[in-house]
Structures are given as C-alpha cells and as structure tokens.
Amino acid sequence: MEDILGQIHVDCVLDIKANLGESPFWSIIDQNLYWVDINNCLLCKFDPSNGQNQIFDVGKPIGCFAIKKNLNVILALTDGFFELNQNDESMSFILNPDDNIAGNRFNDGTVDLKGRFYAGTMPILGSTSNSNPKGNLYCLNPSGIIKKTMEGFYTINGLAFSPEGNVAYVSDSAPWIRTIWAYDYDLDEGIWRNKRIFFDTKSIAGRPDGGCVDSDGCYWMAGVSGWQIVRITPKGKIDMVIEMPVEKPTKITFGGKNLDIIFVTSIGKDITIGTEKKQPQAGGIFALKIPGVQGFSLPYFG
C-alpha cells in the first residue's frame, strides 16, 4: 500500500485561491462539481471537462448546500435556508431555524438517502474552550419541516453517511475536541442513536474538517492544518494517509463518470506564515486517483 500511495499524484485542477473553499458535491446529473467559497459568498459550479467555473454570488456567507434533482440549490446561509434557481438566479426564503442564537452561521452539511438535508451551525467569530458550545444540527425534511436534531457543538463538521445509510458521522473541529463520532442511523425515521467515538484525531497532524465515505464504507477526513487527507476504516483504524500540497484541505468528495476521482477543496486564507512558497495553490481545488478506491452516488435533496 505504501508503494501505491507514494505514486499518487495530486493535481490542482482549479487554481482559484478561494478564501474558504468548502462543501464539494459531485452532481451525477450534470457531471459538475459544486462547491462554495464561504466568506466570499460564492456558490460555484466547476466543469472538469473544460475547466470552466461558473459563479453565483449570493451576497451572504454560504455554510453548505444541497441540490435538488431539478438542479435548484438549497443554500444554508447566515440567516437560514434559501432555494436558488440556477436558471434565473432567483432566491426564495425557506426558514431560519437558528434565529434565536445571535452570531451563528451554518457550516457543514450533507443529505441522507431519504433526501433529508442535515446542516449544522457554529459561531461566526469562533469559540474558545471557556465558552459554551452554541452549534446545533438541524434537519430540513423534503416536506419543508425543520427540526433540531442535536446541539452542543463548537465547530460542527464531518457530516457523512455510510453507503447503506445506516451509519452517520459527525465531528467537532475545535482544537480541544477534534473528535469524529459515529451513530447508528434509523433511515426511515431519521433518528441518531448509540453515539460512540469513531476516531480521536489528537494523534495525527490535522483536525477533522469535512468528511465523506467511499464505496467500501471507509471514512475520508480532510485534515485541516495538517497537510493531509486520511482514510479511516469502518472499525476506526487509519489505512491511508495522503500528503497534500496545501496546509488546509477542507472537504473531500468523489466525482467523475466512474466516481473514482477524489476532489478536495482548500483554504487560501490564514495559512502559516513562512509556508506561502510551499503552497502557492492554497485555496485551490485538487484531484487525485487511488487504484481500487471510488465513491458512490450521493443523494439529492427531496
């Protein structure tokens, strides 16, 4: 395995220098990679076949999003959920579930196999170990009903589901937490049970940022501030570490016609002083292939 990993080449497929690149999602319907630049308020649609990156400026920081089969995009913004029509770029307000907590914004999110959109919040200005955790996890059902699923996060991240949809993952990136948890997930009822520590990242370089799961059920973690992406088996053991050409990879998704291309977003701001020449493409989108590793088609909202 080490011989194979040593031959993996990581390409920068979009050198865009995003401020806070996040939330990549491969849409099998239109074969595009959707992603966001959170702080610059941009939803982007990247076509690897021609290198074009279409930009939608929504005017507010985008934490995460979900896509419908008609390619409308459900956006989790600083002031709630909105629906974006790509054709005319109009936006309609859905609901703000977190308006009772001033200073929060949405961060990470994902969709389960029943089309529910889970999105978590975090303080805009961040947290300290002396503060109370103010982040919550919300579920937007296809019916339009929103409910709070969990609370007590500092920096919620790592949301992902197993290929069968019966295991759910979530992490907290706060430096004093940096833990990934697993839950038994009732797909029919949308209930999270049996919380347990899946992986404590204090033993590795990076903190847990965005996550995804491959077709073997292994969890992929973007090790933010650690220059790595990491694959963890369903039993919570590391079996692959890929060195990245950027300090702050943020989230991973599988794309391409065969879902065998690993796309990784990254952060271009606040990199460690003195490392600028080592990571000139910080904030870019990267791609790599690993023989025998592929993803599965992620669900749409609704």
Domain housing 207? 2-288
Tell me if 192 is assigned to some domain.
yes
Q: 199 near 207, Cβ under 8 Å?
A: no
84 pLDDT higher than 90? yes
Tell me if 300 is assigned to some domain.
no
Tell me if 139 is assigned to some domain.
yes
Helix locations, the chain, DSSP H: 2-6
* Rounded CA separation 201/185 (Å): 23
4 pLDDT higher than 80? no
Give me the percent of the chain exceeding a pLDDT of 90: 90
Count of domains forming the chain: 1
The CATH number of the domain holding residue 178 is: 2.120.10.30
For 48-52, what is the mean pLDDT? 96
Tell me if 114 is assigned to some domain.
yes
Give me the percent of the chain exceeding a pLDDT of 70: 97
For 213-233, what is the mean pLDDT? 98
The two structure tokens encoding residue 59: 């005017």
Tell whether pTM > 0.75: yes
Q: Look at residue 3 in the predicted model and tell me its pLDDT.
A: 52
Tell me if 296 is assigned to some domain.
no
> Tens of pLDDT along 234-284?
999 999 999 999 999 999 999 999 999 999 999 999 999 999 999 999 999
**Residue indicated by tokens 């369903």:** 234
* Rounded CA separation 71/93 (Å): 17
100 pLDDT higher than 70? no
SS3 53: strand
* Rounded CA separation 208/22 (Å): 13
